[in-house]
């Protein structure tokens, strides 16, 4: 997750207890398997916590997760899986072939830490330091990816323990650099997809992933059908004018005044031209550079910003309108605007059919009143790259201590970020149950 998302706390509770009846009836054999998985998750909790503390104490930045990857690979190998390492730099993929035929299900965890210096008083707090884009930094699992690794390792141990009864194959994807790669390097989900994680070897037909949330109470699952997290694209606008003495503007073309008009124009794209009831969208200008002296009108100005959208059509329209607005305003002032849009992360799009199909599983695992339909988030998440290729479901799991209020606790990416470890058990159960129930539903077709 690349942004904090406090607005999740305003989500509406949705009681869909009857949803349990929608799923195909579970046979006695499958019910046994599920019950076994849950008992194993309870038993495994101390181990999952131990793993998480180890990763928490030894965080590594994106594309540098060598120690982390070694530990993951050793665990998967010990479970008897076929293991690939060095995928997209430091990624690890484990393949678990079940004893019975069935679909290939992918489960994904991101494994990178952040350039943040930990301030939490914990016996296993991080003291790690590294270099990030040439700068000395502290390193911390300040987004909770340590819990993601531990939860997926737990799910791997449980599912490997029932290999012979498993109706299909599970692909465990441990992905580096979700938070972005160092400058000049490729990485993350985009590179994993490019290197063929969804095409080579067993091809997954579906993918599940989850994110712990420091401002959601332990025991709660939050989900949003369709756009759950936004696309994030960078834009750069170079406004070219004609340099002249500040006392004689009529003799040149002032790119500063034109830039001011462009910034105002860009804000009307969302407020006046976008159908907001359909989905939220954001255009932010985050930097302006131009000029060196009070009485010189400069040659050019550079504007940079970010575009966020929650569906692909809107994303496309925003790109078109941004280009049109900037170029036409510049033209009207006698300047030229060169617009560059650099796509970064697509919309994290929860396939609506898959979401509906798996909802009863979530309700069975967490309890119907603990599965909450949440508002979409305008932060981005690179899980989106998998969902561009195959249907996927991305969920949020609570990591805030019971009794706390979201506004009292630290958001993601901050030095005081804290996760209540008791929340991980639900994550482990969710990953295993989604896998087992998805396989089961395919067997019934």
Q: Which helix (H) or strand (E) holds 74?
A: helix 66-78
**Minimum CB separation from Zn ion for residue 409, in Å?**
16
Pick the stretch among 42-50, 140-148, 234-242, 279-287 that binds Zn ion (CB under 5 A): 140-148
User: Of the candidates 58, 218, 275, which has an alpha carbon nearest to the alpha carbon of residue 145?
Assistant: 58
**Coil, strand or helix: which one is 435?**
helix
**Minimum CB separation from Zn ion for residue 148, in Å?**
8
Cα separation, 373 vs 13, in Å, equals 6
Four-point Cα dihedral 422, 423, 425, 431, nearest 10 = -170
210 binds Zn ion (CB under 5 A): no
Q: Which helix (H) or strand (E) holds 26?
A: none
**Minimum CB separation from Zn ion for residue 379, in Å?**
8
**Minimum CB separation from Zn ion for residue 121, in Å?**
22
**Coil, strand or helix: which one is 210?**
strand
3-state secondary structure 253-306: ECHHHHHHHHHHHHHHHHHHHCCCCCCCEEEEEEEEEECCCCCEECCEEEEEEE
Query: At residue 35, what are phi and psi to the nearest 5 degrees?
Result: -65, -40
Q: Name the residue nearer to Zn ion (CB basis): 110 or 351.
A: 110
Binding mask 292-331 for Zn ion (x = CB under 5 A): ----------------------------------------
Cα separation, 72 vs 60, in Å, equals 14
Task: Specify whether the CB–CB gap between 389 and 193 falls below 8 A.
Answer: yes
**Coil, strand or helix: which one is 393?**
strand
Cα separation, 220 vs 368, in Å, equals 10
Q: Read out DSSP for 206-223?
A: EEEEEEEEEEEETT-EEE
Binding mask 355-394 for Zn ion (x = CB under 5 A): ----------------------------------------
**Minimum CB separation from Zn ion for residue 221, in Å?**
17
1 binds Zn ion (CB under 5 A): yes
Q: Name the residue nearer to Zn ion (CB basis): 381 or 440.
A: 381
Pick the stretch among 93-101, 138-146, 298-306, 322-330 that binds Zn ion (CB under 5 A): 138-146
Task: Specify whether the CB–CB gap between 225 and 355 falls below 8 A.
Answer: yes
Cα separation, 424 vs 432, in Å, equals 13
Cα separation, 424 vs 144, in Å, equals 11
Residue tagged 């997290």 (tokens): 229
Q: Name the residue nearer to Zn ion (CB basis): 337 or 380.
A: 380
109 binds Zn ion (CB under 5 A): no
Catalytic residue IDs: 112, 178
Size of the site for Zn ion (CB under 5 A): 2
Pick the stretch among 139-147, 295-303, 345-353, 396-404 that binds Zn ion (CB under 5 A): 139-147
Pick the stretch among 17-25, 116-124, 136-144, 301-309 that binds Zn ion (CB under 5 A): 136-144
Cα separation, 177 vs 191, in Å, equals 10
Q: Name the residue nearer to Zn ion (CB basis): 229 or 279.
A: 229
- For Zn ion, which residue of 73, 81, 143, 326 counts as binding (CB under 5 A)? 143
Q: Name the residue nearer to Zn ion (CB basis): 1 or 400.
A: 1
Cα separation, 208 vs 171, in Å, equals 11
Task: Specify whether the CB–CB gap between 320 and 235 falls below 8 A.
Answer: no
Q: Name the residue nearer to Zn ion (CB basis): 1 or 303.
A: 1
**Minimum CB separation from Zn ion for residue 145, in Å?**
6
Q: Name the residue nearer to Zn ion (CB basis): 209 or 290.
A: 209
**Minimum CB separation from Zn ion for residue 243, in Å?**
42
Pick the stretch among 49-57, 117-125, 143-151, 254-262 that binds Zn ion (CB under 5 A): 143-151
Pick the stretch among 67-75, 135-143, 245-253, 273-281 that binds Zn ion (CB under 5 A): 135-143
The residues near 254 (Cβ < 8 Å, ≥ 6 apart) are: 241, 244, 297, 333, 335
**Minimum CB separation from Zn ion for residue 209, in Å?**
10
Q: Name the residue nearer to Zn ion (CB basis): 44 or 424.
A: 424
* Site residues (vs Zn ion, CB under 5 A): 1, 143
């Amino acid at each position: 997750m690349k942004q904090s998302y406090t607005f999740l706390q305003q989500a509406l509770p949705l009681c869909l207890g009857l949803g349990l009846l929608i799923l195909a009836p579970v046979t006695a054999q499958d019910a046994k398997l599920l019950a076994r998985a849950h008992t194993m998750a309870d038993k495994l909790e101390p181990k999952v916590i131990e793993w998480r503390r180890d990763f928490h104490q030894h965080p590594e930045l994106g594309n540098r997760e060598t120690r982390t990857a070694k530990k993951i690979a050793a665990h998967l190998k010990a479970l008897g899986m076929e293991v690939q390492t060095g995928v997209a730099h430091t990624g690890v993929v484990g393949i678990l072939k079940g004893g019975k035929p069935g679909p290939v299900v992918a489960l994904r965890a991101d494994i990178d830490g952040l350039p943040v210096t930990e301030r939490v008083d914990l016996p296993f707090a991080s003291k790690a330091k590294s270099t990030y884009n040439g700068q000395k930094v502290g390193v911390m699992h300040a987004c909770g990816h340590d819990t993601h690794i531990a939860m997926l390792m737990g799910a791997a141990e449980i599912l490997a323990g029932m290999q012979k009864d498993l109706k299909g194959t599970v692909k465990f994807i441990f992905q580096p650099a979700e938070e972005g790669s160092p400058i000049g390097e490729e990485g993350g989900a985009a590179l994993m997809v490019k290197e063929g994680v969804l095409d080579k070897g067993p091809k997954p037909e579906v993918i599940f992933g989850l994110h712990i949330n420091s401002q959601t109470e332990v025991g709660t699952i939050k989900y949003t059908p369709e756009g759950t997290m936004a696309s994030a694209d960078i834009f750069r606008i170079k406004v070219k004018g004609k340099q002249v003495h500040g006392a004689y503007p009529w003799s040149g073309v002032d790119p500063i005044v034109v830039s001011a008009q462009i910034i105002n124009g860009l804000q009307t794209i969302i407020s006046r031209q976008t159908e907001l009831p359909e989905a939220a969208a954001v255009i932010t200008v985050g930097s302006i550079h131009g000029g060196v002296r009070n009485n010189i009108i400069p040659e050019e100005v550079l504007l940079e910003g970010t575009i966020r959208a929650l569906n692909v059509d809107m994303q496309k329209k925003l790109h078109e309108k941004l280009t049109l607005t900037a170029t036409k305003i510049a033209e009207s002032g006698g300047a030229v605007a060169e617009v560059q849009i650099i796509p970064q992360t697509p919309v994290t799009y929860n396939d609506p059919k898959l979401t509906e199909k798996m909802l009863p599983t979530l309700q069975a695992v967490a309890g119907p009143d603990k599965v909450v339909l949440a508002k979409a988030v305008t932060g981005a998440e690179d899980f989106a790259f998998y969902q561009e290729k195959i249907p996927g479901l991305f969920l949020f799991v609570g990591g805030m201590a019971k009794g706390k209020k979201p506004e009292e606790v630290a958001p993601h990416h901050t030095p005081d970020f804290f996760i209540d470890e008791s929340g991980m058990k639900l994550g482990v159960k969710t990953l295993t149950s989604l896998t087992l129930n998805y396989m089961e539903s395919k067997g019934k077709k």
